[in-house]
Amino acid sequence: MTIEELDQIAASVRTEREQYDHEINVCLGTGCLSQHSDRVKEALAQAVEASGKKVYVRRTGCMGLCAAGPLVLVDPESTLYQHVHASHAETIAASLGGAPVAELQCDLRDHFDQQVHVVLENSGRIDPERVEDYIANDGYRALLTALNDMTPQGVIRQITESGLRGRGGGGYPTGLKWGTVAKAKGDVKYVICNGDEGDPGAFMDRSVLESDPHRVLEGMAIAAYAVGASKGYIYVRAEYPLAVSRLTACLRDARRHGLLGNGIGNTPFNFDVEIRLGAGAFVCGEETALIASIEGRRGTPKPRPPYPAVSGLWGKPTLINNVETLANIAPIIRKGGRWFAGMGSERSKGTKVFALTGKIANTGLVEVPMGIKLREIIEGIGGGVPGGHKFKAVQTGGPSGGCLPESMLDIGVSYDALLSVGSIMGSGGMIVMDDTSCMVNVARFFIEFCMTESCGKCIPCRAGTAQMFTLLTRICTGKGTMDDLALLEDLCSTVKEASLCGLGQTAPNPVLSTLKYFRHEYIEHIEHKRCPAGVCQMEAAEEVHA
Amino acid sequence: MSKLSLATVWLDGCSGCHMSFLDMDERLLELAEAVDVVYSPLVDAKDYPDQVDIALVEGAVASVDDEKKIAKIRAHTKTLVAMGDCAITGNVPSMRNPIGPQAILERAYIENVTAQPQIPCVVVPRLLKVVRPIHEYVKVDVYLPGCPPSADTFYAAIKALIKGEPLDIAALTRFGA
Amino acid sequence: MSPVETDVKTLVIDGKEVSAHAGQTILEVARENEIAIPTLCQLDGLSNVGACRLCLIEIKGSNKLLPACVTAVQEGMEVVTSSERLLKHRRTILELLFAERNHICSVCVSNGRCELQSMGQQLGLTHIRLPYRNPDLKVDASHERFTVDHNRCILCMRCVRACAEIEGAHVWDTMGRGINTIVITDLHEEWGESSCTRCGKCVQVCPTGALFEKNKIGADHPKSPDFLPYLNMMREAQ
């Protein structure tokens, strides 16, 4: 495969498209599929055929606005329909060429206009399983450019210049990581794509893998070229069956087109990718645990150093990047590191995908430039808290993150800003809570999550999270004392400072941040045996054997 | 100097701590010059006095009675000493915690009894679901671990308490000692 | 034994200037210089896993605490092995262990010879502030010579490592995760039914009364895990 051949494929896709007067894109992401968007697509295909109009009905990945699914986008008019049912197919087909179907129309210009799509540029626009669609949207151009016109060092230079930082949550500079692996000595090197997304309320990586899998494969191949790896693994949760099946199909297509395998792009570069399924252990998102899991061992983390960059998979230098990080690579190579660095804030460049969930009108996936205010995401793009309720807190970064109150909504979203107020960027989960949420109960929920997901290797995390859960349960059931609260805070510091890996080190964050911003709710539970949000059931203190 | 008042209390324990206390032998006479034993299973007093300077509490909190007693003791005591492992960790009485009181009662009063097997319901206080150390109920001032703490430990600890001197307990004793 | 390195590093541990070979861990160097750092999962002769977190130390200029057993010395490093912050964490870790399972010292076969018990005393633990968890755990006495009492296990994984790394049998492993983790023999077979080679190394390395020889308690049951480095040395000499 050469760039010219890519051009030919792109041209033939365009010619093919020109035959049609309209294109109907139907979201077949997990969210819309759960509302039977597959039936919608089938019905639309039948309806347009019956109508005799020249229309192409395309399966696409996620369009972002999951709350309004199933979503259907009609081009070239860019008409977005929401909550489409199979029974609407004929009406939609009939409207083509005329006025849109008003009652189905989704009019959320603000929601989309404030977003900047880099990672999601193809999501909801291409058929994820058609490599030709991806190629027609500049797909694999970056890989072939890198292989033919750039040195590995040149690639790393672009990534470094872009200022891209790890999107899995750590925020480690990607260029620096690549440089370390490139410099590491080893006969064999590996590239691993971390798709073990496990935060409650997070579905960024799943969506990218479902909607634009080739983008991730291209990113991996470029990374492999840059660091000198010849083998890659995608570690993805078995709970993401759609992502796995699409990835499997795309791997086959990429190999068939000579975009993976031996002699990629008619150069001496060899690279192939294997999928490894995770069994759903949250801790396997931690890189050393993930490596252990790929090796077929129990998924437990190891102390670092040595870092995987030096001694990773099977003791070889290994580059591990998150799905979203890798999804940023192709556009950076295509448009240059400087272009990417032009977006975002001082120390957090580019864009970030967030999964908006909880008490928010526009549940779904959004991509925004770094530095944007939390308020703009929640009240603007997200449409605010529905049902006349009052905003109370936003939880960012999943179980490792914190809960931020209304007064913090004007901070810009960046790694450092979120860290400074007691939360983290994390992988991009954003759970909005209103006045019906009890913050003590929320902290208890996240600690319970960490307790059940702790691998059990180190004592502070294994036993510490369990004790924190016990103490929080006491408080939530009206049995807690101020001594329990002091003990809880004491445990937070030991679990945070003494745990072996990131899971334990960040597990107390939801407790610490709710204690910082919502301490009065804890006090209310303890001193007045009352849950201000009316969530917690207070029990009688007696524990007598009947 | 007027004598200090000393109480010893027996909650859910085996009385081994009290035995070890008595093992101080002739040193008891020396201590008796500085303290009066005002309440104890070893003396005749029926009610816990209003003001006690030092109380040594043996045993864990296992029944509703224990729960009431420990609250009363705390309210009327200056220095509360958790004496021995049962008071401090729950120790042997707490071994029933994983299986619950019902299994224990049935084993003791039904399975192993030939004449009139029945679980007592009068006089015997109701058991708590879980046996806990006393510091889970009240504030404890001094911990003297050991099963039982040795007579030497008692002697050193009580002398230090009488004189108000600092005490390095970990140097004297440990859990299970 | 690692080959003698010529690269010598000098560093400061607790205000004392010491020298070390490159590649040595802080724990090794501290011990050579008679500076005690508490450990539970670490055992000479086994691989280091950095799991118990008792050997955490401070390094000047860094806010992060590092496990001495796996952290290599570096030139000019200033190490603090004992501070209020470290002591607080070490005590809390021991409290977490004591409250995690049913460590009833008074009726334990290892009473008086238990590393957890003596570590508690060393660090001045007189009571456990945390609520006891009282889990319902089993005792497996199916083996003709040994018994495993999960109530006393602290999951240091010494048995797992000794069995895999020294005996080469890998009978011991772990099952479950988090607070529900337990050590198992084979694929959770009873110990007596497992492929155990009956070598008894696991019993010798167990720091508590979790693994013990039948019919032996307390003073009759001294454990001597110090044979491991010797065994390794003799094997390498062959």
Q: Which residues of A touch C155 (CB under 8 A)?
A: 456-457, 459, 462
DSSP for chain B reads -PPEEEEEEE-BS-SHHHHHHHTTTTHHHHHHTTEEEEE-TTS---S--S-EEEEEEESBEEEHHHHHHHHHHHHTEEEEEEESHHHHH-TGGGGGTTT-HHHHHHIIIIIT--SS-----SSSPPEEEEEE-GGGTS--SEEE-SSSPPHHHHHHHHHHHHHT----HHHH--TT-
Chains in contact with C, counting 3 or more C-beta pairs less than 8 Å apart as contact: A, B
Question: Has domain A439-543 been given CATH number 1.10.3720.10?
Answer: no
Same-domain check for residues C35 and C75: yes
pLDDT score recorded for residue C2: 52
Chains in contact with B, counting 3 or more C-beta pairs less than 8 Å apart as contact: A, C
Same-domain check for residues C61 and C98: no
- Which position has the higher pLDDT, A486 or C221? A486
C-facing residues of A in 232-291 (CB < 8 A) are 281, 283
Pairing of strands C146-149, C211-213: antiparallel
b/e sequence A75-86, b meaning 16+ C-beta within 10 Å:
eeeebbbbebeb
Residue C224 lies inside a defined structural domain of this protein: no
A356: left (phi over 0), alpha (psi -120 to 50) or beta: beta
Q: Which residues of B touch A543 (CB under 8 A)?
A: 128-130
pLDDT score recorded for residue C3: 54
Residue B117 lies inside a defined structural domain of this protein: no
Q: Which residues of A touch C130 (CB under 8 A)?
A: 467, 487, 491
Question: What percent of chain A lies above the pLDDT cut of 90?
Answer: 90
CB contact under 8 A, A281 and C177: yes
CB contact under 8 A, C112 and B176: yes
Residue C236 lies inside a defined structural domain of this protein: no
Distances (CA, A) of C159 to A140, A300, B166, C203: 51, 17, 41, 7
- Picking from A88, A107, A79, the residue whose alpha carbon sits closest to that of residue A36 is A88
CB contact under 8 A, B127 and A544: yes
User: Which domain, by its residues, includes C132?
Assistant: 87-219
CB contact under 8 A, A465 and C96: no
Q: Which residues of C touch A497 (CB under 8 A)?
A: 56, 65, 85, 89
Cβ proximity of A27 and A124 under 8 Å? yes
Chain C interface includes A466 (CB < 8 A)? yes
Q: Which residues of A touch C132 (CB under 8 A)?
A: none
Amino acid letter for position A344: G
Distance from CA of C77 to the nearest CA of B (A): 33
Amino acid letter for position A55: V
- Any idea where the domains of chain A sit in the sequence? 3-112, 131-340, 351-434, 439-543
Q: How many domains does chain B have?
A: 1
Distance from CA of B86 to the nearest CA of C (A): 10
Q: Which residues of A touch B126 (CB under 8 A)?
A: 544-545
Q: CATH number for A3-112: choose from 3.40.50.1980, 3.10.20.30, 1.10.1270.20, 3.40.30.10.
A: 3.40.30.10
Residue A349 has pLDDT above 70, yes or no: yes
Distance from CA of A532 to the nearest CA of B (A): 27
Same-domain check for residues C92 and C172: yes
Residue A487 is nearest to which of C72, C130, C133, comparing CB atoms? Answer: C130
Q: Which residues of A touch C115 (CB under 8 A)?
A: none
Residue A196 has pLDDT above 60, yes or no: yes
Chain B interface includes A545 (CB < 8 A)? yes
- Convert the pLDDT of each residue in A470-505 to its tens digit: 999 999 999 999 999 999 999 999 999 999 999 999
pLDDT score recorded for residue A542: 55
Query: Taking each helix axis from N to C terminus, what angle separates A519-527 and A459-476, rounded to the nearest 10 degrees?
Result: 60
- Convert the pLDDT of each residue in C155-212 to its tens digit: 999 999 999 999 999 999 999 999 999 999 999 999 999 999 999 999 999 999 999 9
Pick from B89, B138, B150 the residue to mutate for testing the C interface (most C CBs within 10 Å).
B89
Residue C78 lies inside a defined structural domain of this protein: yes
CB contact under 8 A, B102 and A545: yes
CB–CB contacts below 8 A, A to C: 106
CB contact under 8 A, B130 and A543: yes
CB contact under 8 A, C104 and B133: no
Residue recorded with tokens 């064999």 = A188
Q: Which residues of C touch A466 (CB under 8 A)?
A: 100, 133, 178-179
Cβ proximity of B6 and B81 under 8 Å? no
Chains in contact with A, counting 3 or more C-beta pairs less than 8 Å apart as contact: B, C
Q: Which fold has domain A351-434?
A: Ubiquitin-like (UB roll) (3.10.20)
Distance from CA of C30 to the nearest CA of A (A): 20
Residue C108 is nearest to which of B90, B97, B176, comparing CB atoms? Answer: B176
Burial class (CB in 10 A: 0-12, 13-18, 19+), A113: exposed
Residue B108 lies inside a defined structural domain of this protein: no
Q: Which residue of B has its CA nearest to C138?
A: B98
Domain harbouring C54, CATH code: 3.10.20.740
For domain A131-340, the CATH class is alpha beta
User: What pLDDT band is residue C78 in, cutting at 50, 70 and 90?
Assistant: very high
Residue B69 lies inside a defined structural domain of this protein: yes
Q: Which residues of A touch B102 (CB under 8 A)?
A: 545
Residue C132 is nearest to which of B90, B99, B168, comparing CB atoms? Answer: B90
User: What pLDDT band is residue B12 in, cutting at 50, 70 and 90?
Assistant: very high
CB contact under 8 A, C104 and B174: no
Cβ proximity of B70 and B12 under 8 Å? no
Residue C227 lies inside a defined structural domain of this protein: no
pLDDT score recorded for residue A541: 59
pLDDT score recorded for residue B2: 85
Domain harbouring C111, CATH code: 3.30.70.20
User: What pLDDT band is residue A540 in, cutting at 50, 70 and 90?
Assistant: low
CB contact under 8 A, C106 and B97: no
Residue B91 lies inside a defined structural domain of this protein: yes
Residue A466 is nearest to which of C49, C93, C179, comparing CB atoms? Answer: C179
Taking an 8 Å Cβ-Cβ cutoff, which residues of chain C contact chain B? 98, 102-108, 111-112, 114, 117-118, 120-129, 131-132, 134-137
Computed over every residue of chain B, the mean pLDDT equals 95
Chain C interface includes A455 (CB < 8 A)? yes
Residue C235 lies inside a defined structural domain of this protein: no
pLDDT score recorded for residue B1: 59
SS (H, E, C) A83-147: CCCHHHHHHHHHHCCCCCCHHHECCCHHHHHCCCCCCCCCCCCCCCCCHHHHHHCCCCHHHHHHH
Two tokens, residue B18: 């009290």
Same-domain check for residues C73 and C133: no
CB contact under 8 A, C105 and B88: no
User: What pLDDT band is residue B139 in, cutting at 50, 70 and 90?
Assistant: very high
- Convert the pLDDT of each residue in A242-289 to its tens digit: 999 999 999 999 999 999 999 999 999 999 999 999 998 999 999 999
Same-domain check for residues C105 and C27: no
User: Which domain, by its residues, includes B24?
Assistant: 4-95+128-175
pLDDT score recorded for residue A38: 96
Pick from C95, C100, C102, C105 the residue to mutate for testing the B interface (most B CBs within 10 Å).
C105
Q: How many domains does chain C have?
A: 2
pTM summary value: 0.94
Residue B24 lies inside a defined structural domain of this protein: yes
CB–CB contacts below 8 A, A to B: 15
Distance from CA of B113 to the nearest CA of C (A): 26
Q: Which residue of A has its CA nearest to B100?
A: A545
Residue B88 is nearest to which of C114, C127, C136, comparing CB atoms? Answer: C127
Q: Which residue of C has its CA nearest to A468?
A: C130
- Picking from B28, B109, B13, the residue whose alpha carbon sits closest to that of residue B69 is B13
Q: Which residues of A touch C131 (CB under 8 A)?
A: 467, 470-471
Domain harbouring B132, CATH code: 3.40.50.700
Chain A interface includes C88 (CB < 8 A)? yes
Q: Which residues of B touch C108 (CB under 8 A)?
A: 176
Residue C238 has pLDDT above 80, yes or no: no
Residue C121 is nearest to which of B95, B136, B170, comparing CB atoms? Answer: B170
Instruction: Identify any residues that bridge with A352 across adjacent strands, giving them in sequence order.
Output: A368
Q: Which residues of A touch B101 (CB under 8 A)?
A: 545
Residue C117 lies inside a defined structural domain of this protein: yes
- Convert the pLDDT of each residue in B104-134 to its tens digit: 999 999 999 999 899 888 888 999 999 999 9
Computed over every residue of chain A, the mean pLDDT equals 94
Q: Which residue of B has its CA nearest to A546?
A: B126
Cβ proximity of A165 and A158 under 8 Å? no
User: What pLDDT band is residue C215 in, cutting at 50, 70 and 90?
Assistant: confident
Residue B8 lies inside a defined structural domain of this protein: yes
- Convert the pLDDT of each residue in C96-138 to its tens digit: 999 999 999 999 999 999 999 999 999 999 999 999 999 999 9
Residue C230 lies inside a defined structural domain of this protein: no
CB–CB contacts below 8 A, B to C: 81
pLDDT score recorded for residue A92: 95
pLDDT score recorded for residue A1: 84
CA distance B58 to C162: 41
Same-domain check for residues C16 and C118: no
